[in-house]
Structure 1
Amino acid sequence: MLEGRVPASETERMRCPHQEGEFPFPVKYGYALVGRIAEGPAALIGRIGFALHPHQSAAVVAADAVSLVPEGVPPRRATLAANLETALNIVWDSGASLGDRVLVIGAGVVGLLVARLLSRIAGVEVTLADADPAKRAAAEAMGAAFAAPHSLPADVDVAINATGSDAGLDMAIAAAGLEARIVEASWHGEGTQRVTLGGAFHARRLTIQSSQVGRIPAARAARWTHRRRLATVMRLLEDDALDALISHEVPLAEAPARLPGLLKEPGALGILITYDAQGA
């Protein structure tokens, strides 16, 4: 989306709540707004809330569109809620279970959150791979081993591609064991991706599962709502290790000039856009 690569067929599906404008540009887009509730039902005033809303210093939303941030969760960490919701869906789609060996390729914020959730399942061994060695500390803070792309583990039970690249998917296929599951967690955008299926893909009877946060996985959809999933995410935010995933803070006025460079900076992770001193 940052590069304007939203296919025409996806412009409606890719809309976020409270979006203004149309893809590719100009568009007001975002889904990770955290702030203090100033007006509304008496029980909510003064509390810190999270909403799927574009970046801005103040917003008016329906009361039922706000999720209260638990008292022990810092507002800056609560900005990870939308990405953590995506990560939870990816873990569900992976089918990972006790004692599995799991490879996550791509140590961006989503990949790191996936690794953190997996590391909390008893006995699961998580390896997080990335070409940027500066991501090692963050991977280890999430409870995962770190690997460079040329030294991936083999015969894993689950391989998850969170790189946004077809090269990452090829790595997942190469690392997957017999009848293993591969989760394609990336959004690739407009264009053509090439995937190597001529090697051991068929002989190993591998499965590729797409994951997209817009829908609850079928095995849970009869019981889970989006509201229940987000409430679960709010509880999962009660984890101090997640603070390592915010690497920069940028005032809103400086964001247009600074964001392009920060997105390419080694070790960069979550970039928190801040407002005035009275905001969250």
Structure 2
Amino acid sequence: MSRALWYDGRGGVEVRSEMAAGRSGDDALVRTLFSGVSRGTERLVSQGRIPESEWGRMRAPRQQGDFPGPVKYGYAAVGIVEDGPSELRGRAVFCLNPHESAFVAPISALHLLPEGMPPRRATLAANMETALNALWDSGAGPCDRAVVVGGGVVGLLSAWLLGRLPGVEVTLVDADDRRRGVAEALGATFALPRDTPHDADVVLHASASAAGLATALSAAGEEATVVELSWHGSDDVAVPLGRAFHARRLKLVSSQVGQVAPSRRPRWSARRRLAAALALLAADDRHDLLLDVSVPFEDAPSVLPALFEPGAEGLGIVLDYV
């Protein structure tokens, strides 16, 4: 038996008991330790705000149910292989899989954690993939002035990645001053929107708000690129294309993790990118600062709806099955 989290598409969350799928010779049985909640995407899923045009593209691996709901969703599970090839048994793995206490997945879908990596931190792997893809899409290089607008998990990971490039100056902009400490701990300068620097070479926007996008465009220098990481589901968002947008010849580029960035696609597979994301997370203990909300799995129905509300406190949400 397994316990699985389902979103009803009307804001409700339920945990159901169900039989785990049968295992074949190409599969492994995994007992989940932790799973990461993607606050932005899963808020939209829980509220039934995935546009019908995107129902196919937004399906998670091994998702059950159909949009707008009920659906068993999620894509950041970390667990221990309980049954499978001898070389995997007892090993900690990451898998793109919904939130459930145990699951069967193809061996090819499992990613061994780097030696010594805390399993809880590995729940950030999908977020790090998103940040890495955005960095590739931005074309950022050494000694650039970079601005990241939006101090959520993806924005902070993006700022950390940019700061690892030689000579890059990174400013993290957020309306919530509580993000200052984490941003500075990860090596970025923090600024409130009113203090946003201008003439940036590269700008990444990850606030999922129209005001944040306007701030990102205002930060961009002449002919600079603004990379949009936010996804708004079925919502329409005002984009300020007046003022100096055309005169400064700005570029607004979408970045989405479903495909490897075009600049790397001929050489990089999604599996190679995920392995790189795990290695990056393993290399710096400061990433644990992003996982500041722990929720016992069985409490998810009563806790998650409040955490999905606008302005809810906390950064990274982890469901704890231990």
Quickly name the TM-score band, shorter chain normalised: over 0.9
Shift of 1:5: 1.2
Match of 1:256 among 301, 304, 310: 301
For residues 44-55 of structure 1, what are the structure 2 equivalents within 5 Å?
Answer: 44-55=88-99
Give, in whole Å, the separation in 2 of the partners of 1:266 and 1:213. 25
Specify the code of the residue in structure 2 equivalent to 1:253: E
Deviations 1:152-199 (A, max 9, x none): 001111111101112211111111100111001110110321111111
- Is 1:41 equivalent to 2:85 in the alignment? yes
Contact kept, 8 Å, 2:306 with 2:312, in 1: the verdict is: no
Give, in whole Å, the separation in 2 of the partners of 1:94 and 1:227. 21
Shift of 1:255: 1.1
Contact kept, 8 Å, 1:33 with 1:79, in 2: the verdict is: yes
Give, in whole Å, the separation in 2 of the partners of 1:100 and 1:4. 40
Runs of 4+ in 1 over 3 A off after TM superposition: 262-267
Give, in whole Å, the separation in 1 of the partners of 2:248 and 2:297. 49
Residue 31 of structure 1 aligns to a residue whose secondary structure is coil
Aligned position for 1:189: 233
Aligned position for 1:72: 116
Shift of 1:267: 4.7
Contact kept, 8 Å, 2:204 with 2:229, in 1: the verdict is: yes
Aligned position for 1:119: 163
Aligned position for 1:97: 141
- Is 1:268 equivalent to 2:314 in the alignment? yes
Match of 1:147 among 182, 191, 196: 191
For residues 211-226 of structure 1, what are the structure 2 equivalents within 5 Å?
Answer: 211-226=255-270
TM-score with structure 1 setting the length: 0.96
Deviations 1:102-126 (A, max 9, x none): 1111111111111111111111111
Specify the code of the residue in structure 2 equivalent to 1:115: A
Give, in whole Å, the separation in 2 of the partners of 1:3 and 1:160. 26
The farther-off stretch of 262-271 and 240-249 is 262-271
Give, in whole Å, the separation in 2 of the partners of 1:132 and 1:261. 18
Shift of 1:260: 2.7
Shift of 1:259: 1.9
Match of 1:231 among 270, 275, 299: 275
Match of 1:21 among 62, 65, 71: 65
Give, in whole Å, the separation in 2 of the partners of 1:260 and 1:127. 31
The farther-off stretch of 151-160 and 251-260 is 251-260
Shift of 1:71: 1.6
Give, in whole Å, the separation in 1 of the partners of 2:253 and 2:236. 18
TM-score with structure 2 setting the length: 0.83
Contact kept, 8 Å, 1:30 with 1:53, in 2: the verdict is: yes
More strand by share: 2
Give, in whole Å, the separation in 2 of the partners of 1:196 and 1:221. 31
Give, in whole Å, the separation in 2 of the partners of 1:84 and 1:58. 24
Give, in whole Å, the separation in 2 of the partners of 1:149 and 1:3. 29
